[in-house]
Chains A and B, each alone.
Chain A
């Protein structure tokens, strides 16, 4: 009765829906491995949506004479032609016992008929959406280490995220490498700092915040990181201008006014006003004026007026920081 051993836990038809590639790959791999756990010789057919001919799926999914198991994986299922979609939906309503079908769909409108069809037919749906929040990525890192039988300190997870960036594939690779390289049960900040240094993603806003808060060294460091990871100089200039502009606007407003009341008048959200009020510490009108002039010069220089955009930016940041205490 080996047949009755079943197909592991995998449903006969699985729809992996979402645009996070790594998670989609993992979902496919888990289905394949659960089938293999029950039947080590199961055959895996890995197909690409655009290349599936009509009839091909029917051939692959029809029961085998010898009762062999097989897994059919269709990647980029949004590219399946209309005929194949009809064929697949029809199959999903009456799936064969010997075959496990996995459809990978990136979400979106294309190929919606397939998604709706197989969902209606009762396919198991695995959703793999892109992680957008930093907190979700931290959870992802924690789960990675848990999967490897280790744990990671919260500060270390943050440091790792800063250093590697938000690409999950890179994060996963960094996690497994770290787990391999270190001995302790809990990976600490020191271990992360030993292998990873710097920041993968610095936006112009980080640079601007450091500059208006008068942190020269940090601002210059962030600027270099930003430039070396390909942030356009123009964006950094506009972030600097934006930062100084909010300071200037808030500096002209009455000090005791409520942020929510000011929001409408200044055309800024309340949190930004609060932020600007905090940053205004140490700024005088003359200094602000000088700093904004410097930014205008920088914009001119990064748009072809100067020869070296990086120099123009560094020079501007220095001027901004030095203008800070010039009341």
Chain B
């Protein structure tokens, strides 16, 4: 029983990491420690648990028992309060060079507990090119006891110079049985529900959990999956697109509104608003306005990101739907993500040819590319719904 047991469906990666943790302990004891290195890149599809794997490895490095999972060190790593763990999760669209330089400075410190100093950088693909270049030197030759753990969806998402300096840990998409099992044992989800959401999420553990525990997420998925049926004329296509984009906007607004306010209030307090006493004025001290503006820019970037991610989730659900349609059309013996909508899938499969289904999936991918390229979401999604309606154009 150790920290790596919690990783879902990643037996191979866990073996590699256990060995590395043992080697790391050997290094601390003064040995050679073959199998441990100073920079790691965790890659894998969304929901495969890159961050969880990296965190488990961090715990194994910082725990005197190589990741027992129940000592203070392990616990502190899991809740993110360990003094030797520097954890970074970019909130906005990108991670800039300025923040990266600050991070490098923090990473250069000595470990306080005498073991390792671990930098855990989630979504490292969000680092801008400049930021990634700033990382190079630090990653190539960190101080003796500093370990960098980067997480990104695929090795190609990082610039080649970073990739070549890291040891890559590849995580795989967990099987839906593994995901369902995790949901049943950890979140007390009923086995039937767990299996259906695990299939629907296609191996994305986080998404499966959200679908199982959050009713509104399930409702939204239903709404998205009813789109293909509703596209009967141009007007309906435009209306469906409008609804999708509006839902994404609302998601972003709901997720950010409260957070934004408390952040702004906090920053205002830091800059002395409402302070009383001699020599203090009521307004912000110098520099306050600039800092506020910076915060607002960061918040806007975060809102855009949430909006894009919400749209992307919807697009992936649609993608799974048409994948299933294609599987039905070809009679392929694969697990259907939307097995509960069998009748609908069959109707869609009968009503179109496989070429059309492929064109539809291509249109979905195209839409995702457009969204990433900053195309106006409404325009991109309108083009998508129209292509789903009549893929011939």
Contacts and interface: CB of A to CB of B under 8 A. Distances in A.
A285 interface: yes
A303 interface: yes
Given A289-B393, A293-B383, A300 B375 contact: yes
A300 B382 CA distance: 14
Contacts of B389: 289
B375 A299 contact: yes
A293 B393 contact: yes
A55 interface: no
Measured as residues with beta carbon below 8 angstroms from the partner, the interface class of chain A is 20 to 34
Given A252-B233, A289-B234, A295-B379, A304 B373 contact: yes
A253 B236 CA distance: 10
A226 B286 CA distance: 43
SS of B interface (majority):
helix
Contact of A290 (B236, B374, B393): B393
B303 interface: no
A299 B380 contact: yes
A238 B376 contact: yes
B237 A248 contact: yes
A249 B241 CA distance: 11
A245 B387 contact: no
Interface in A56-95: none
Contact of A245 (B370, B382, B390): B382
Given A245-B238, A248-B238, A293-B393, A285 B373 contact: no
Contacts of B236: 252
Of listed A286, A293, A305, residue having the most chain B CB within 10 A = A293
A134 B43 CA distance: 61
Contacts of B235: 248-253
Contacts of A251: 233-235
B378 interface: yes
A290 B383 CA distance: 9
B391 to A, nearest CB: 10
B378 to A, nearest CB: 7
A303 B374 contact: yes
A241 interface: yes
A245 B239 CA distance: 10
Interface in B65-88: none
Contacts of B238: 245, 248-249, 252
Contacts of B382: 241, 245, 248, 292, 296
Contacts of A299: 370, 375-376, 379-380
A285 B378 CA distance: 19
B32 to A, nearest CB: 50
B386 interface: yes
Interface string A231-257: 000000110010001001111110000
A241 B390 CA distance: 19
B373 A305 contact: yes
A241 B370 CA distance: 15
The bracket for how many chain B residues form the interface is 20 to 34
Given A293-B383, A293-B393, A288 B373 contact: no
Contacts, number: 72
Contacts of B378: 241
B239 A249 contact: yes
Given A248-B237, A248-B238, A252-B239, A293 B387 contact: yes
Q: Is the interface of A mostly helix, strand, loop or mixed?
A: helix
Given A300-B370, A300-B373, A303-B375, A292 B233 contact: no
A67 to B, nearest CB: 52
Contacts of A303: 373-375
Q: Considering residues A252, A292, A295, which has the most beta carbons from chain B within 10 angstroms of its beta carbon?
A: A292
Contacts of A292: 379, 382-383, 386
B387 A241 contact: no
Contacts of A290: 393
Nearest to B233: A252
B361 to A, nearest CB: 16
A320 B105 CA distance: 55
Interface in B233-259: 233-239
A190 B389 CA distance: 52
A264 to B, nearest CB: 14
B247 to A, nearest CB: 15
A303 B234 CA distance: 26
A241 B375 CA distance: 12
A324 to B, nearest CB: 14
Interface string A287-313: 011101101110110011100000000
Interface in B357-389: 370, 373-376, 378-380, 382-383, 386-387, 389
Nearest to B374: A303
A292 B236 CA distance: 14
A30 B196 CA distance: 83
13 contacts: A248-B235, A248-B238, A290-B393, A292-B379, A292-B386, A293-B386, A293-B387, A296-B382, A299-B370, A299-B376, A300-B375, A303-B375, A304-B374
Interface of B: 233-239, 370, 373-376, 378-380, 382-383, 386-387, 389-390, 393
Given A241-B376, A288-B234, A299-B375, 18 more contacts: A237-B376, A241-B379, A245-B238, A248-B237, A248-B238, A249-B235, A251-B235, A252-B235, A252-B238, A286-B390, A293-B386, A295-B383, A296-B370, A299-B376, A299-B379, A300-B370, A303-B374, A304-B373
